[in-house]
Amino acid sequence: MEKLREFNPAAFASVMGTGAVAIASYRYAGYLGWLREIGIGLTYLNFILYFVLLIPWLLRWVLYQKESLEDLRHPSKGHFYGTSGAATIVLSAQALVILKNQTLAWYLWLWGLVLTFIFAFWMSYEVFIAGEVDLRHLSPAWYIPPVALVIIPFGAAFMRMTMGYIQELTVIVNYLGWGAGFFLYLVLYAVVTLRFIRHELMPPQMAPLIWMNLGPIGASITALFALIENSTISIPKEPFMVFAFFLWGLGFWWLVMATAMTLHYVRNLSLPYSGSWWAFIFPLGAFVNATKDLGGTFELKLMSHFGFLLLWPLLAIWLATIIKMVSLKRSGKS
């Protein structure tokens, strides 16, 4: 029961990361055919992982409401509750893209919407009424609720699969999610960047969070492409596609910076394993998928090749993280 009391609200980051790796692997199967099987296998693994985590997550809310609310109101921990909705939407995307199961994807997407909207608004409300927040407590973890919102269009295909008022509501929710998530990210981006400039580096166990700067960028690009390709509203597509390309440029800048900062920790400080290692994976996976989208849309083979190149460190980091996590679980240290 003590483990249930201390259950980490960030646990669903593992589902987000595994889902991003699965989708990226599946989409790059044109380069190596066996990557398709990797994507399918990781998808089934991710479904198991999701429900293994969902049960204690729900039980903690029922049995330990006080501790759950304390975490929600914490300036750092609270934002990780957004991983529950984001992970569910990522799982929905896997069901849609990899398993081709539209019914399962639809219900997962609806459940993901519920979780995403609850924590996106609830967490923001708690921050606003809490009073002054020390700038040192800010980190890229604050991007998680906006990311959960911005990936709502991972289910944009449902705009064409529904009819009547359900279709209209689906259209509204998809545009609302991307708009709210992306522009909220821009607001937080300025504040979090200020924290990097004005204060000391984050402690080594939080170093992987630097990579979370890539997450909203990559996810926004993929979600935007899904939105404009499936929209039932007549809109000009080209300006949004060009904007996505510009946004990818910011992502590339963060890819270089995150790599440089990680090497700085390795050489001058330390980079111990912790649950925060999952922060390496979803952001990089989102950027790999965004690179694949842009390379295919603009017929830039060099960009597609670059995404394929990035897939390998992504797979390596995922494998190292999952092995370390399982090893610590078996030894009883985590």
- Could you tell me the pTM of the whole model? 0.95
pLDDT tens readout for residues 171-222: 999 999 999 999 999 999 999 999 889 888 889 999 999 999 999 999 999 9
> Check: CATH 1.50.10.150 for 2-314?
yes
User: At 242, which helix (H) or strand (E)?
Assistant: helix 238-268
Reading the block at residue 287, the tokens are 């950027």
Q: What is the DSSP string of 158-175?
A: HHHH--HHHHHHHHHHHH
Q: Measuring CA to CA, how many Å separate 110 from each of 45, 89, 123, 199?
A: 21, 8, 20, 40
Reading the block at residue 69, the tokens are 């609310």
Reading the block at residue 52, the tokens are 């293994």
Dist CA 325 CA 15 (whole Å): 13
Is the CB of residue 147 less than 8 Å from the CB of residue 140? Answer: no
Of the candidates 60, 21, 83, the residue with the CA atom closest to the CA atom of residue 209: 83
C-beta atoms surrounding 210 within 10 Å: 25
Mean pLDDT of 21-31: 98
Q: What is the DSSP string of 12-35?
A: GHHHHHHHHHHHHHHHTTTT-THH
Mean pLDDT of 70-99: 93
Ordered by start, the domain boundaries in the chain are 2-314
Dist CA 224 CA 228 (whole Å): 6
Proportion of the chain above pLDDT 90, given as a percent: 79
